[in-house]
Amino acid sequence: MGEPEGAPPRPPAVGVSLCDSAPLLWRLEDLRSVRARALVGTLLGSLPRTPRQNLRLGRPLLLLPEEERVLSEEHAAGALPARDQQGGDVELKVRQHQEEQQRSYEEQRVLALEDKKSALLRVRTASPTGPEVSLDRALQERLHAAQQNFGFPPSAMAVQLSTARAGLAHCSESRALLQADWPIRDQNPRSANRYQVFRDLRRRGFYLTSAGKFGGDFLVYPGDPLRFHAHFIAVCVSADESVCVLDILAVARLGSNVKKTVLLCSAGPDADVLYTSVQWSGMS
């Protein structure tokens, strides 16, 4: 059945690569697709031009288990075939990579030696003291010694990273395969409570991310996290589960310190979710 007339087009299906049990998205168009579905995820990769920092990260995007399940139930994602991940003969690719690394090492060694010689020449030009003949002879000796004994360890190589913005290549056949209606992998039945809370908050228009660093299950945003701060810390508990008062006090105090309201979320048997807000008001 086609899309209703006048309805906005649905985002395309996405391809999920499983690294052990972690669902990852690598393709740029897949990241755009899940964002259009109000799914955020967490970026893990370093940026090509600034790899030694962890403030601004890039692909891959790690999905929450609940986000993966939403995509699976909406038939909007599938696991990428193993052949797409391997991309052919692994041994051949490893050998080609090693050969390319060796060529790059030889080229960088030549360039590093030229830089060293240029530095010696600049020093000779900047300090013209002493007899001309003796200075030239000393310079030639140092240049010859640099040529013979120059060391360039492989650890000093510059890493070559791609800065292309087109994303990873893919074929239309694999894109068609991703329209599968099977689950990506079996879901843990113990996560049913979390998923029910996740689905209910998402249905209400909230954006959710992981709240592990705040001691909760989800951070709840009123809109896109790029534009809004989180208003709530959602903590999922079973309706028949007893909760220690000290645990409630601890998470309420933490929520007060970060200016967020703590939500105790309990999923009911009829798909309803009960929310209880907790705020720290001080000690008397």
260 is catalytic: yes
| Active-site hit among 221, 231, 259, 275 | 221
Cis link prior to 60 (omega < 30° from 0)? yes
Residue 266 · residue 239 · CB < 8 Å: yes
Residue 188 · residue 65 · CB < 8 Å: yes
CA quadruple 181, 184, 189, 195: dihedral positive or negative?
Answer: negative
Q: For residue 175, count CB atoms less than 10 angstroms from its CB and return exposed for 0-12, middle for 13-18, buried for 19 or more.
A: middle
Give the ranges where the chain is alpha helix by DSSP (H). 28-36, 65-73, 82-86, 90-126, 132-149, 172-177, 192-203, 245-257
User: How many Cβ atoms are within 10 Å of 151's Cβ, its own excluded?
Assistant: 7
Residue 15 · residue 28 · CB < 8 Å: no
| Active-site hit among 170, 229, 231, 275 | 229
195 is catalytic: no
Distance CA(76)–CA(34), nearest Å, equals 9
> Distance from CA of residue 193 to its chain's centroid?
26
CA quadruple 178, 179, 182, 185: dihedral positive or negative?
Answer: positive
Which residues are catalytic, by number? 221, 229, 260
